[in-house]
Amino acid sequence: GLTVVEVNRVHLPPFPIVENNINNYDKFHARGDDVWIVNWPKSGTHWMYEVIKLLMTGREELTDSIKEGTMFPEACAVESLEKLPSPRVLDTHVPLKLFPEEALKKSKIIYTLRNPKDAFVSAYYHMKNDRSVSYEGSWNGFFELSVDENTCLCGSWFDHVADWMEVLENNPNALVVKYEDMKRDLKKEVRRVAEFLGYTKSEEVYENVTKKCSFGHMKKAKKEPKCFWKPGGSMYRKGIVGDWKNHFTVAQNEKFNAIFNEKRNKLRVSVDFEL
């Protein structure tokens, strides 16, 4: 099995102290200039965070994760969120029903979407190597947990996407960015994000952000808290499209696609990734 924290029948990753902090959302004060990165886990959170931070601060270099890590309200103390200077960049993996309405009304939201097959594979390695989870099952076991809505992290990929898209589509305060598009043409997506957030910059700045946010540079330059991973673990594992092909069996692929085809109409977003 997988060590997870259950809130309102949703399984959340056992970030340090999710149990203590999930109620942060009841006490949470949204700000008009908050920027949220929302997604199902392993869909490009840290990547988007660096893009936004570079645009927002005008800095040349990536953030120091040891000093200013990504902030998940479901995983950190509410006081530390209140102390963050504006504009805050916050992350969350929670399904829509756990997200505060006030934030939905007044803050900006960037939803990152990734082929769930690749996200499942990425989540498998994360859960295996994360010291606080230490998933010891096989890929086959993890696949079964992920396609079952009762055991899937964050309450099923399909529901996560469908519920969020319903409130984000046609919302001028929201932008959907696809991981695969970032892989295809990062500069184009950097420019979209900049224009959406109101940080329109010169071509030179977009070039720099694109360079600094390449997988190679991030993997090399980002320091990760040592205590977080078992040896070999990293937030920057492979960073490719299609690694699922090295993991999904033919039967798993058929099972996944059957569910996908049954639910795809509910997703409200064009999904052009390879199935």
Q: Is 44 in the site for ligand A3P (CB under 6 A)?
A: yes
Burial class, 74, CB count within 10 angstroms (exposed 0-12 / middle 13-18 / buried 19+): buried
Stretch that binds ligand A3P, among 37-45, 98-106, 144-152, 200-208 (CB under 6 A): 37-45
Q: Is 181 in the site for ligand A3P (CB under 6 A)?
A: no
Question: DSSP letters along 128-143, please?
Answer: HHBTTT---S-HHHHH
Cα separation, 39 vs 127, whole angstroms: 17
Q: Is 236 in the site for ligand A3P (CB under 6 A)?
A: yes
Give the total of residues touching ligand A3P (CB under 6 A).
20
For the beta carbon of residue 215, count every other beta carbon within 10 angstroms: 15
Active-site residue identified among 11, 46, 93, 247: 93
Q: Is 72 in the site for ligand A3P (CB under 6 A)?
A: no
Q: With respect to ligand A3P, which residue has the nearer C-beta, 25 or 125?
A: 125
Q: Is 237 in the site for ligand A3P (CB under 6 A)?
A: yes
Stretch that binds ligand A3P, among 150-158, 196-204, 231-239, 244-252 (CB under 6 A): 231-239
Cis omega (within 30 of 0) on the bond before 87?
Answer: yes
Give the three-state DSSP class for 122.
Answer: helix
Known catalytic residue at 247: no
Q: Is 107 in the site for ligand A3P (CB under 6 A)?
A: no
Cα separation, 176 vs 178, whole angstroms: 7
User: In whole angstroms, what separates CA 4 from the centre of its chain?
Assistant: 17
Q: Is 180 in the site for ligand A3P (CB under 6 A)?
A: no
CB of 79 to ligand A3P, least distance (A): 25
Write out the catalytic residue numbers.
93
